[in-house]
Protein backbone atom coordinates (compact mmCIF):
# COMPACT_ATOMS: atom_id res chain seq x y z
CA UNK A 1 0.00 0.00 0.00
CA UNK A 2 1.44 3.36 -1.04
CA UNK A 3 1.81 5.99 1.69
CA UNK A 4 -0.71 8.80 1.37
CA UNK A 5 -0.01 12.38 2.37
CA UNK A 6 -3.11 14.51 2.77
CA UNK A 7 -3.16 18.29 3.07
CA UNK A 8 -5.82 19.54 5.51
CA UNK A 9 -6.75 23.20 5.09
CA UNK A 10 -8.85 25.24 7.49
CA UNK A 11 -10.04 28.66 6.36
CA UNK A 12 -10.85 31.91 8.13
CA UNK A 13 -12.13 32.01 11.69
CA UNK A 14 -11.66 28.27 12.21
CA UNK A 15 -8.86 29.14 14.64
CA UNK A 16 -11.73 30.35 16.88
CA UNK A 17 -13.41 26.94 17.09
CA UNK A 18 -14.43 26.03 20.62
CA UNK A 19 -15.10 29.71 21.35
CA UNK A 20 -17.01 30.81 18.26
CA UNK A 21 -20.75 30.04 18.22
CA UNK A 22 -20.49 26.58 19.82
CA UNK A 23 -24.19 25.96 19.11
CA UNK A 24 -23.34 25.98 15.40
CA UNK A 25 -19.70 24.85 15.28
CA UNK A 26 -19.38 22.68 18.39
CA UNK A 27 -17.16 22.96 21.42
CA UNK A 28 -13.97 21.34 20.09
CA UNK A 29 -10.98 23.53 19.37
CA UNK A 30 -9.14 23.38 16.07
CA UNK A 31 -6.23 21.70 17.85
CA UNK A 32 -8.60 18.98 19.08
CA UNK A 33 -10.03 18.50 15.58
CA UNK A 34 -6.51 18.23 14.15
CA UNK A 35 -5.60 15.66 16.81
CA UNK A 36 -8.66 13.57 15.90
CA UNK A 37 -7.73 13.84 12.22
CA UNK A 38 -4.18 12.70 12.96
CA UNK A 39 -5.51 9.69 14.88
CA UNK A 40 -7.89 8.81 12.04
CA UNK A 41 -5.14 9.25 9.44
CA UNK A 42 -2.93 6.88 11.40
CA UNK A 43 -5.70 4.25 11.46
CA UNK A 44 -6.03 4.71 7.68
CA UNK A 45 -2.25 4.41 7.21
CA UNK A 46 -2.04 7.93 5.89
CA UNK A 47 -0.44 11.12 7.13
CA UNK A 48 -1.74 14.66 7.25
CA UNK A 49 -0.32 18.14 7.33
CA UNK A 50 -2.78 20.73 8.67
CA UNK A 51 -2.79 24.47 8.12
CA UNK A 52 -5.24 27.15 9.18
CA UNK A 53 -5.14 30.64 7.77
CA UNK A 54 -7.39 33.67 7.77
CA UNK A 55 -5.62 34.85 4.62
CA UNK A 56 -6.82 33.73 1.21
CA UNK A 57 -3.41 34.08 -0.44
CA UNK A 58 -1.75 31.83 2.14
CA UNK A 59 -4.34 29.13 1.39
CA UNK A 60 -3.86 29.56 -2.37
CA UNK A 61 -0.05 29.36 -2.04
CA UNK A 62 -0.35 26.24 0.14
CA UNK A 63 -2.59 24.56 -2.44
CA UNK A 64 -0.03 25.34 -5.16
CA UNK A 65 2.77 23.95 -3.00
CA UNK A 66 0.78 20.72 -2.45
CA UNK A 67 1.59 19.57 -5.97
CA UNK A 68 4.15 16.78 -5.76
CA UNK A 69 3.92 16.64 -1.93
CA UNK A 70 0.36 15.53 -1.26
CA UNK A 71 -2.00 13.11 -2.97
CA UNK A 72 -5.19 14.86 -1.87
CA UNK A 73 -6.70 17.84 -0.06
CA UNK A 74 -9.31 17.98 2.69
CA UNK A 75 -10.60 21.54 2.98
CA UNK A 76 -12.95 23.53 5.14
CA UNK A 77 -12.62 26.87 3.41
CA UNK A 78 -14.94 28.55 5.91
CA UNK A 79 -16.42 31.76 4.51
CA UNK A 80 -14.11 31.52 1.47
CA UNK A 81 -16.28 28.61 0.35
CA UNK A 82 -18.89 31.14 -0.70
CA UNK A 83 -16.64 33.89 -2.03
CA UNK A 84 -13.29 32.66 -3.32
CA UNK A 85 -12.85 32.05 -7.00
CA UNK A 86 -9.10 32.12 -6.23
CA UNK A 87 -9.32 29.00 -4.02
CA UNK A 88 -11.52 27.28 -6.59
CA UNK A 89 -9.01 28.06 -9.35
CA UNK A 90 -6.05 26.90 -7.22
CA UNK A 91 -7.72 23.54 -6.55
CA UNK A 92 -8.53 23.17 -10.24
CA UNK A 93 -4.96 24.11 -11.20
CA UNK A 94 -3.26 21.47 -9.06
CA UNK A 95 -5.88 18.86 -9.98
CA UNK A 96 -5.52 16.98 -6.69
CA UNK A 97 -8.56 15.06 -5.44
CA UNK A 98 -10.23 17.37 -2.94
CA UNK A 99 -13.01 16.83 -0.41
CA UNK A 100 -14.86 19.85 0.95
CA UNK A 101 -16.11 19.66 4.54
CA UNK A 102 -18.17 21.86 6.84
CA UNK A 103 -19.03 21.43 10.50
CA UNK A 104 -22.52 22.87 10.03
CA UNK A 105 -25.05 22.07 7.33
CA UNK A 106 -24.48 25.07 5.08
CA UNK A 107 -27.77 24.40 3.28
CA UNK A 108 -29.80 24.89 6.47
CA UNK A 109 -28.22 28.27 7.15
CA UNK A 110 -28.31 31.70 5.53
CA UNK A 111 -28.91 31.63 1.79
CA UNK A 112 -25.50 33.12 0.96
CA UNK A 113 -23.93 29.97 2.45
CA UNK A 114 -25.81 27.70 0.03
CA UNK A 115 -23.40 28.41 -2.84
CA UNK A 116 -19.95 26.82 -2.87
CA UNK A 117 -17.22 27.76 -5.30
CA UNK A 118 -15.26 24.73 -4.05
CA UNK A 119 -17.77 21.92 -4.66
CA UNK A 120 -17.59 22.02 -8.50
CA UNK A 121 -13.87 21.18 -8.34
CA UNK A 122 -14.11 18.74 -5.40
CA UNK A 123 -14.76 15.02 -5.64
CA UNK A 124 -17.32 15.42 -2.85
CA UNK A 125 -18.68 17.50 0.00
CA UNK A 126 -19.67 16.52 3.55
CA UNK A 127 -21.45 18.98 5.80
CA UNK A 128 -23.59 19.12 8.89
CA UNK A 129 -22.03 16.41 11.05
CA UNK A 130 -19.75 18.50 13.24
CA UNK A 131 -16.28 17.04 13.68
CA UNK A 132 -17.54 13.85 12.00
CA UNK A 133 -17.67 15.83 8.73
CA UNK A 134 -13.88 16.09 8.87
CA UNK A 135 -13.38 12.44 9.79
CA UNK A 136 -15.84 11.20 7.15
CA UNK A 137 -14.20 13.47 4.59
CA UNK A 138 -10.77 12.07 5.40
CA UNK A 139 -12.06 8.50 5.19
CA UNK A 140 -13.74 9.20 1.84
CA UNK A 141 -10.64 10.87 0.42
CA UNK A 142 -8.32 8.05 1.47
CA UNK A 143 -10.75 5.46 0.09
CA UNK A 144 -10.98 7.36 -3.19
CA UNK A 145 -7.18 7.65 -3.51
CA UNK A 146 -6.64 3.97 -2.75
CA UNK A 147 -9.32 2.89 -5.23
CA UNK A 148 -7.82 5.16 -7.87
CA UNK A 149 -4.27 3.78 -7.54
61 assigned to a ligand binding site: no
- Mention every residue, 6+ apart, whose C-beta is less than 8 A from residue 113: 81, 82, 106, 107
- The answer to whether 119 touches 88, Cβ cutoff 8 Å, is no
Among 25, 80, 117, 134, the one annotated catalytic: 25
Indicate if 144 belongs to the active site. no
DSSP string, 111-138: GGGG--SSGGGSSEEEESSTHHHHHHHH
Is 115 known as a binding-site position?
A: no
Residue 89 assigned ligand-binding role: yes
Report whether 82 belongs to an annotated binding site.
Answer: yes
- The yes-or-no answer on residue 102 being catalytic is yes
Of 10, 70, 80, 102, which one is the catalytic site residue?
102
- Going by the annotation, the residues of the binding site are 76, 82, 89, 103-104, 113
Give catalytic residue positions.
25, 102
- Going by the annotation, the residues of the binding site for substrate are 76, 82, 89, 103-104, 113
Amino acid sequence: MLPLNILVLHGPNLNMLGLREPGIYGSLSLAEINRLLEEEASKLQASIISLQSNHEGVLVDTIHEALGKHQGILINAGAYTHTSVALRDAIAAVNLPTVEVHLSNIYRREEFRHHSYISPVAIGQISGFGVQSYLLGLQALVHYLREKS
